Copies of this chain bind each other. A is one copy, B any other.
Amino acid sequence: MPSPAETAQSLTPAAIEAAYSLIQPYVHRTPLLTCHTLDTIASTPQSPDALLGTPFEGQSPAHPRFRFFFKCENLQRIGAFKARGAFHALLRLVAERGEEEVKRRGVITHSSGNHAQALALAASTLQIPAYIVMPRISTPSKIAGTRSHGAEVIFSGSTSVEREAVVEEIQAKTDAILVPPYDDFNIICGQGTSGLELAAQHAELTGSRTLDAVITPVGGGGLNSGVATFFSDKPQTRVFGAEPSFEGADDCRRGLQAGQRVEAVSTLTIADGLRTPVGFINWEVISNKKKVEGVFAVTENQIKAAMRLVLERMKVVIEPSAVVGLAACLFDEDLRRRVEQEGGEDGWDVAVVFSGGNTTVEAIAKLFSSV
């Protein structure tokens, strides 16, 4: 088996393009939306008071100029970009091992989130049996959602040891092929197609103006490293990542600072799609400064403030994980200073990937009822 570093080297823009031609019939070309109001808000300096108690306290607030392009993967099938990677992984499996073998063995994963539903949808579409191991305590709506796509749900305990034990048990019985959620060449290539698509859409919308930057959430890192792979031969477009900082969820940013991948994270950040540590392959990509120029961390309150703006001003429903990139643009003075200094009067065209929209009215109520 190739090492993570070797796999990372084989991640090329051509691999993303190949993935796109394979999955295109199965995924939505999600819209790339603009919002004048959010541009104006982000292009207004923060008040000095807003910086009190932050690492930027005492600085004179930056005056960046942002033109945002929101890649709405919340409108992707199953409500998240994960559909791209899941379809790509299964289509590759079928291409490499033959339809008969894959249909006989089936596929398996453990996830309580968007990857579970994405794999279930892709498997049912391609008529492949799917086994999804979910913690017994998963919310009923997520269990029902996964089942509604025809997957067999098997319950486990909540720790990763317990979940992996159940996966092995099912694999022993069925010989099902494991499809990992993010630390996998084919998954990364699938997620990277969102970058390919947004670049084309930005060019269509602007008459091929330069796209100065793209920012995506970083959880396991599949989306960010896929997008960074696509832009790795387009040096005019910088790629950034964003994470929650709550209870150490900013493992990627901390790892970059320490020069070493952080191996475990235990956090209950509201950005529940971003609670995992960055995968090994993804770390190889994201820690390569030529591919990803920086990863920013945002607080729970900054995530909520960004969510409020998107819900109330753009009228678009996103999950908390989806807005960490926008929150970084709104509140991180290091990033804002950089846009001011490098973008100047012209400012930057910045693509922000809204990774998903799978939330409920109860979850929104819980986030905002005690404010």
Contact = CB atoms under 8 A, between A and B. Distances in A.
B315 A79 contact: yes
Interface in A287-345: 307-308, 311-312, 314-318
Q: Main SS of chain A's interface residues? A: helix
A334 B105 CA distance: 49
A170 interface: no
Interface stretch (A42-50, A114-122, A171-179, A363-371): A363-371
Counting chain A residues whose Cβ lies within 8 A of the other chain, the interface size class is 20 to 34
Contacts of A367: 361, 365
A361 B312 contact: yes
A366 B364 CA distance: 10
Contact of A317 (B75, B317, B368): B317
Contact of A364 (B79, B318, B357, B361): B361
A308 B371 contact: no
A317 B312 CA distance: 8
Contacts of A314: 317
A364 B361 CA distance: 7
A361 B311 contact: yes
Interface in A66-123: 74-75, 79
Nearest to A359: B312
A54 interface: no
Given A366-B369, A369-B366, A369-B369, A361 B308 contact: yes
A204 interface: no
A307 B79 contact: no
A360 to B, nearest CB: 6
Contact of A315 (B75, B361, B366): B75
Given A311-B317, A315-B317, A316-B317, A368 B362 contact: yes
A207 B362 CA distance: 40
A203 to B, nearest CB: 21
A314 to B, nearest CB: 8
A206 to B, nearest CB: 19
B362 A371 contact: yes
Given A315-B317, A362-B368, 9 more contacts: A75-B315, A311-B364, A312-B317, A312-B360, A315-B318, A316-B317, A317-B317, A365-B366, A369-B369
Interface of A: 74-75, 79, 307-308, 311-312, 314-318, 357, 359-362, 364-369, 371
